[in-house]
Amino acid sequence: MRTDTGHVFKLEDYRPSDYLIPETKLDFRLSPEATTVVARLTVERRQGVAASAPLVLDGDGLTLRRIEINGAKAKPADFVATSDQLTIAKPPVANRFELLIETELMPSGNEALMGLYRSSNVYCTQCEAEGFRRITYFLDRPDILSVYTVRIEAHRDAAPLLLSNGNPVDKGNLADGWHYAVWHDPFPKPSYLFALVAGNLGKVADSFVTLSGRNVELGIYVEPGKEQLAGYAMDALKRSMTWDEQAFGREYDLDVFNIVAVSDFNMGAMENKGLNIFNDKYVLADQDTATDADFANIEAIIAHEYFHNWTGNRITCRDWFQLCLKEGLTVFRDHEFSADQRSRAVKRIAEVRTLRAHQFPEDQGPLAHPVRPRRYREINNFYTATVYEKGSEVVRMIRTILGPENFRAGMDLYFERHDGDAATIEDFLKVFEAVSGRDLSQFALWYHQAGTPNLTVSSAYNAGTREFTLEIEQSVPPTPSESRKRLMHIPLSFGLVGAGGKPVDYAGVDGAHVEDGVIHVRKRRHTVRFSGVAERPAVSLNRGFSAPITLSVEQKADDQFFLAGHDSDSFSRWQAFNTLLTDALIAAVRQITGGEPPNFSTRLAELAGRIAGDEALEPAYRALALALPGEADIARDIGGNIDPDAIFAGRQALALAIAGANKDTFAAFYAGLADKGPFSPDAADAGRRALRNILLDYLALLPGGAGLATRHFGAATNMTDRAAALTVLAHRHSASAEATEALATFEAKYGSDALVMDKWFQIQAGVPGPRTVETVQALTAHPAFSMANPNRVRSLIGTFASANQTGFHRADGAGYRLFVQTVLEVEKRNPQVAARLATALRSWRSLEPGRQAKAREALLSIANAENLSADLRDIVERTLA
């Protein structure tokens, strides 16, 4: 385990390496305890670099066995080797030379799951961000692009399958039951995209014909016996390949494309060139074991990793500060794919909910950083919602500002200009300036400046002059190391909505640049005047969530109710209702903390009933609208002195008020949404199930609710309905015999299926209330649980710490004590997973004083532990700062 060195990497310190490695040949002889790796590197001194410049290669925990320079054994005086670095002080004078390095690894002992490891009898690699240096000494940085040829040798019985990047070029038998395979990737790539898989796996085969008529062999490799669970993933892959040709003109470039699903994996998936490696939860699915959300995630993540072939692989990032260039852009591309495959309106709402739940708190807390960070201590800790989700929103804003045609032209130029490059954010922005003629220098602050901008908006209508005025003021709150903020370019999409939801026309506008329904907010204050407005409109702002901002709008409740029922923009219509719900919940929390019972307007409950039954709206849309803001969302909007118990009580009270006011209509809708045909994971059927299951959640609060949920559980023909009913029983009726029996039934049926048992752990970890601490503690001893498996840890500990506000933040600090114990235990094996768990306390300062003190004590307990990894120390110290 690499402990903290205290070194801070800064963007301003970037300089090109003195050396390049244009060609890399790797020979692996695989063995669980002693794998040998022979790396033959062609090294070139960069033009203009002095011959005396040393060659310094990165390593991490390596054992060096041999080194040769130009075919001759290196003398001890020629190099200095430690487990973490290899320095050749006096390389050959010639500008190009050959370097051979032999290292020895122990894949079976690699529980960090970085570099080459062996899990469930399968050899696997994970090299992003800095895992390749755990395999051999190398210039392990993204701007070193090399052509790889890989030879793998293994005993055939242990590893009949041998895979690497690129195209297969040779294979054959060796003595003593061994065999080999050779792979060659003709496209230069950085070391983080190297991949190797070897083991005994089943294969699902298919093929794809590209736009130019090339045939590509497709393979998805899974644990033997699970091949039938990979069909949806294969279908998603082929749809992704077609979509990328149509939407971005990007064709696949190798002869084969392989996906491997493994059960022990730190991330969701990895886009290694031609050999994607996936967490098996994002590949394996059927109606009995996977929910509709699982199917949607498989579709999106398969697409995301495939889209990286161009945005990440063919064009990679110059350095890790540019991580958003590949991740934010590719998230945007997978969002667009999912929107086209499913419902654009529903997808957009889901994206914004995810952004607000994960990225907004990040921007508002001690871990805030720009979309392109300027400094880091541990790059693994910057695979964040800011880089991914906010990075995607920045790309979306570019399209909003330039329009679809200029955006596509800019992307085409980006691919043309930078294919084969390690690019920067500046390179990316320049192509859009080139095709549009616009100056994006102020807009570039979205990449350079942390924090969530806020727009304060008020409006006035003068019937005499027929003038409608918007007063807009922007601000960006201070973030760590950034107390003073510069003014942003914010594209604010808007609409003026009149009677019946019809748009209100205007003759002219001044006070800001307004184009195609977008107000371009560039100054601190704008007074935007619309002339020739015949009636007072309700103003719809940030339509489609055109910018990742918060809004403080002086708007009457009547206008919000009107927009919730009539806004033609589907996102803004949802937002109006969600704002009404949020305002009601915040008021309820204040009433509860003040010792008063919460009081809700019947008008709000009636609106919920109308939305539930509005056949003009998609069922999935109605389900999202009826989903109350989460407890963490409410806490974020309250801002400080948070009492999780009061928030939970207020949310329960509002849910009960809505259920009580609509019990008959909800029951009728629920009955009418029952299955009427064979299962399909498509958007229409998934939406129907989503609406029915949220109605079940409301109805379960009423008398007889446990019985209804029990019948739903027993009648379920798919995992979506079964897991929804179990969640309702466990969360709404946790002390009931029905909940206990349903949990036992689920465990008995799926006890041998690890991925389904993750749902069982997750449901129990999310049970609200103080008793869940002891439940989670007991479940860590369950035979199906393992601290060594990231999926198990995330399902139980991750859910408890991040999604159970009342249980985790138990007033006596018991949740925090369990958290500290678990994080330190996980860190011994896997620092990366431990560090991500630790982010659950990023908002500790917003808690009420008692909990705040206990949370700080927990963080200090972790910070004071001996031999803390660089990953975990970085998160904890920034959280405490």
**305 flagged as catalytic:** yes
Average pLDDT over the chain reads 97
What's the Cα-to-Cα distance from 80 to each of 55, 65, 83, rounded to whole Å? Answer: 11, 13, 10
Q: Which residues contact 282 (CB under 8 A, 6 or more apart)?
A: 233, 261, 268, 269, 297, 298, 301, 302
d(CA 861, CA 260): 39
Residue of 507, 803, 784 whose CA lies nearest to 632 = 803
Cβ count near 217 (within 10 Å): 15
Give the relative orientation of helices 619-626 and 683-699 as an angle to the nearest 10 degrees.
30
Per-residue pLDDT at 376 exceeds 90: yes
Average pLDDT over every residue of 433-458: 98
d(CA 402, CA 400): 6
| Pairing verdict, β 422-423 and 316-317 | parallel
Average pLDDT over every residue of 728-746: 98
d(CA 110, CA 118): 7
Cβ count near 89 (within 10 Å): 13
Q: What share of the chain is helix, strand, coil (3-state, %, to 5)?
A: 45, 20, 30
Residue 172 CB-half CA count within 13 A = 5
CA 110 to chain centre: 25
pLDDT of residue 317: 98
Three-class DSSP category at 251: coil
Over the stretch 321-374, which tens digit does the pLDDT of each residue have?
Answer: 999 999 999 999 999 999 999 999 999 999 999 999 999 999 999 999 999 999
d(CA 394, CA 328): 8
CA 627 to chain centre: 21
Contact 221, 202 (CB under 8 A): yes
Per-residue pLDDT at 567 exceeds 60: yes
pTM: 0.98
pLDDT of residue 285: 98
Average pLDDT over every residue of 373-394: 98
What's the Cα-to-Cα distance from 509 to each of 272, 423, 459, 503, 535, rounded to whole Å? Answer: 51, 40, 14, 16, 16
Q: Which residues contact 284 (CB under 8 A, 6 or more apart)?
A: 222, 226, 229, 230, 233, 261, 290, 755
Q: Which of 305, 327, 378, 482 is catalytic?
A: 305
Cβ count near 706 (within 10 Å): 18
The two three-digit tokens of residue 162, written as one number: 């041998």
The two three-digit tokens of residue 598, written as one number: 């919460």
Q: Which helix (H) or strand (E) holds 338?
A: helix 323-341
Kindly report the three-state secondary structure assignment for every residue of 670-704: HHHCCCCCCCCCCHHHHHHHHHHHHHHHHHCCCCC
Contact 449, 370 (CB under 8 A): yes
Cis, peptide link before residue 748, omega less than 30° from 0 = no
| Residue 677 exposed, middle or buried by CB count within 10 Å (0-12, 13-18, 19+) | exposed
d(CA 589, CA 462): 37
What does the buried/exposed string (b/e) look like for 502-531 if buried means 16 or more CB atoms within 10 Å of the residue's CB? eebebeebebbebeebbbbbeeeebebbbe
d(CA 634, CA 155): 57
What DSSP letter does each residue of 51-90 carry, written as one string?
TTPPEEEE-SS-EEEEEEETTEEPPGGG-EEETTEEEESS
DSSP lists the bridge partners of residue 275 as 258
Three-class DSSP category at 143: coil
d(CA 201, CA 206): 16
- The residue whose two tokens read 């130029």 is 413
DSSP lists the bridge partners of residue 393 as none
- The residue whose two tokens read 């929390």 is 589
Over the stretch 474-496, which tens digit does the pLDDT of each residue have?
Answer: 999 999 989 999 999 999 999 99
Over the stretch 92-115, which tens digit does the pLDDT of each residue have?
Answer: 999 999 999 999 999 999 999 999
pLDDT of residue 4: 54
d(CA 138, CA 192): 11
The two three-digit tokens of residue 378, written as one number: 């541990």
Over the stretch 738-763, which tens digit does the pLDDT of each residue have?
Answer: 999 999 999 999 999 999 999 999 99
d(CA 466, CA 423): 51
| Rg of the chain over all Cα atoms, to the nearest angstrom | 28
The two three-digit tokens of residue 543, written as one number: 């339509």
Contact 832, 266 (CB under 8 A): yes
AA letter at 354: T
Distance from first CA to last CA of the chain, Å, rounded? 24
| Residue 353 exposed, middle or buried by CB count within 10 Å (0-12, 13-18, 19+) | middle
Cα dihedral across residues 514, 518, 520, 521: positive or negative: positive
Over the stretch 635-691, which tens digit does the pLDDT of each residue have?
Answer: 999 999 999 999 999 999 999 999 999 999 999 999 999 998 999 999 999 999 999
Kindly report the three-state secondary structure assignment for every residue of 480-523: CCECCCCCCCEEEEEEEECHHHCECCCCEEECCEEECCEEEECC
Q: Which residues contact 345 (CB under 8 A, 6 or more apart)?
A: 570, 571, 618, 621
Three-class DSSP category at 194: coil
Over the stretch 193-222, which tens digit does the pLDDT of each residue have?
Answer: 999 999 999 999 999 999 999 999 999 999
Contact 218, 302 (CB under 8 A): no
Residue 787 φ/ψ, nearest 5 degrees: -70, -15
